[in-house]
Structure 1
């Protein structure tokens, strides 16, 4: 991402971790109502009642019927998860792409960009994404049905008590497939665009970062939507296996059901993709000089 390190021109791991975590938290909080709307649409609805495709209409309806707090049900879980997820994703992606890069030019081919992103996505799913997404989805589903869960912490306790640690990893396969593909396309597309622009001396400013992030969000959504739908069904309040989730989508909506919520998710990912990468670049730009200064000070003291 940002090419500035202590002495070698590479992003230091601590900068990738902190900048990615801050960016993920900002992005999750700012775009949560659209994530809420998308999740509501993907969960099972009553037969014969049409589901709105306009995310802003869903947000408006929930606000009118259930109040502002309902729109942020599960937000805390997602923000915490996003801080961990994006910290890990940027950390591993920035380090993995160094080993994948061309030794002469320091850049990655499009395929290697995607492979680096895929690897980072798998690590993020195992360490942070699956359990936090499970809690967020369960909270949103529970709020429209049984209303058993009082908070993210309470939901975690109940799910763990009833199903053990595996209960928190419901939907692991679907989530990992989604994260591997989503991170590959999101991080890969962003870096492909950035490398292309760098070779043509296109300035990397806030507007460029936001535009690149938004384009990456569109590509990611269109390519990974089926995995997102399966993940959401698997992580409902009652939970389901990946096979059961796939079967339920086919029975309810047919093959087209795997793209349920695409419009909703596009509304979020275009916006969130721009925010995520813009925030990451801005935070890294602040942290890199601080890290370099600290690094130089330690080097001088050691010598």
Structure 2
């Protein structure tokens, strides 16, 4: 991989945060559906969620939720995810740049393997600093909304209630599977994206930016590959962040075993369809918006390449 100009930290943080906020707002209904599918209880082949209501699939979740609770219900937990996604995307791109810089070889180049390692480090960093608490709060808000008498009255009240009842550990539930998932997510996504991006750049005139349509396309491809390789970690993560997780699971291994025993191996890919829909769009949106914001920043405040 050719050496790349190192962007100032403020640039990567700003562009990443804007890209993350835009992506999460556009794709949130798919995240809501995925989380609902993963929160459903039951044995192999079962389709009953925690509140006892049967969902037949992703479309039924959307239709039933809108019909019974209104369209705003499919955006339950959105504020937590937007804030978290903006922060995590900023941290992700910033951390990736820092790890990639540390992993450059003697010629100032970053190989495909080194890009994967940089992505792994970036994913685990964002998981620890941002993703775990925001994902936990989002999951609990959605799960609480399934009950007959929801106890949380929004993001602030929900967060305050969770911390009061469980302490700070309550919003760090499932930190191990979250770090594993985010590390794998970023390793795969950045590895695939960087390789395809460099392949396209090698076919363009030197200094020519990659067209936005190409950036969206390779971001979407990276998203597809990411979904199917990391889905089991995402399912375990969601299970461990549910309202009753503390009583049901003794840890990540116990959770994975109970999911396998009670629901079958295919349940580890439960919610793959809506997550796939989200990550195809997510990969395209995030990388496209990020690159466009970086270009806009350079146009407004040019810097000298380092």
When normalised by structure 1's length, the TM-score is: 0.89
Residue 144 of structure 1 deviates from its aligned partner by 0.4
The superposition leaves residues 113-137 of structure 1 with CA deviations (integer Å, 9 ceiling, x where unpaired) of 1100000111101110000000000
Alpha-carbon contact 2:42-2:263 (below 8 Å) kept: no
After superposition, the C-alpha distances for 1:41-85 in whole angstroms (9 at most, x for unaligned) are 0012456546544x3443223212221111000000000000110
Which is worse superposed, 158-167 or 39-48?
39-48
- Separation in 1 of the partners of 2:42 and 2:267? 15
Is 1:40 equivalent to 2:36 in the alignment?
yes
State the 1:177 CA deviation: 0.4
Q: Which residue number in structure 2 is paired with residue 23 of structure 1?
A: 19
Among residues 189, 193, 217, which one is paired with 1:211 in the alignment?
217
Instruction: Please state how far the C-alpha of 1:103 moved relative to its aligned partner.
Output: 4.0
2:262 corresponds in structure 1 to 252
Are the aligned partners of 2:239 and 2:245 in contact in 1 as well (CA < 8 Å)?
A: yes
Q: Distance in 2 between matches of 1:137 and 1:251?
A: 23
Give yes or no for the alignment of 1:173 onto 2:179: no
Alpha-carbon distance between aligned partners in 1 of 2:37 and 2:142, rounded to the nearest angstrom:
11
Number of equivalenced pairs = 288
Which residues in structure 2 correspond to 1:54-69 (within 5 Å)? Answer: 55-69=58-72
Q: Distance in 1 between matches of 2:212 and 2:265?
A: 39
Q: Does 1:263 align with 2:280?
A: no
Give SS of 2:115's match.
Answer: helix
Q: Pick which of 33-42 and 141-150 moved more.
A: 141-150
Distance 2:83 2:201 in 1: 33
Secondary structure of the corresponding residue to residue 302 of structure 2: helix
SS in 2 for 1:292: coil
Alpha-carbon distance in 1 for matches of 2:93, 2:59: 30
Q: Is it true that 1:96 corresponds to 2:92 in the alignment?
A: no
Contact conserved, 2:216 with 2:285, CA < 8 A, in 1? Answer: yes
Residue 137, structure 1, aligned to residue 147, structure 2 = no
Quick one: distance in 1 between partners of 2:301 and 2:94? 15
CA distance, structure 2, for counterparts of residue 218 and residue 57 of structure 1? 23
Following the alignment from structure 2 to structure 1, what is the Cα–Cα distance between the partners of residues 258 and 183? 23
Gaps of 5+ in 2: 48-53
- RMSD over aligned Cα atoms: 2.1
- How big is the shift at 1:252? 3.0
Q: State the alpha-carbon separation in 1 of the partners of residues 257 and 133 from structure 2.
A: 23
Aligned counterparts of 2:153 and 2:244: Cα–Cα separation in 1: 16
From 279, 285, 293, give the equivalent of 1:283: 293
Larger mean CA deviation between 61-70 and 275-284 belongs to: 61-70
Q: TM-score, normalised by structure 2?
A: 0.88
Partners of 2:34 and 2:77 in 1: CA distance? 13
* TM-aligned CA deviation for residue 159 of structure 1: 1.1
Q: Return the offset for 1:196.
A: 1.5
Q: 1:93 to 1:14 in 2, by over 3 A?
A: same
Contact 1:34 1:59 in 2 (8 A): no
Over 3 Å counting, the alpha-carbon distance change for 1:122 and 1:167 in structure 2 is: same
Q: Find out whether 1:236 has 2:242 as its counterpart.
A: yes
- Structure 1 residue 187: deviation in Å? 1.6
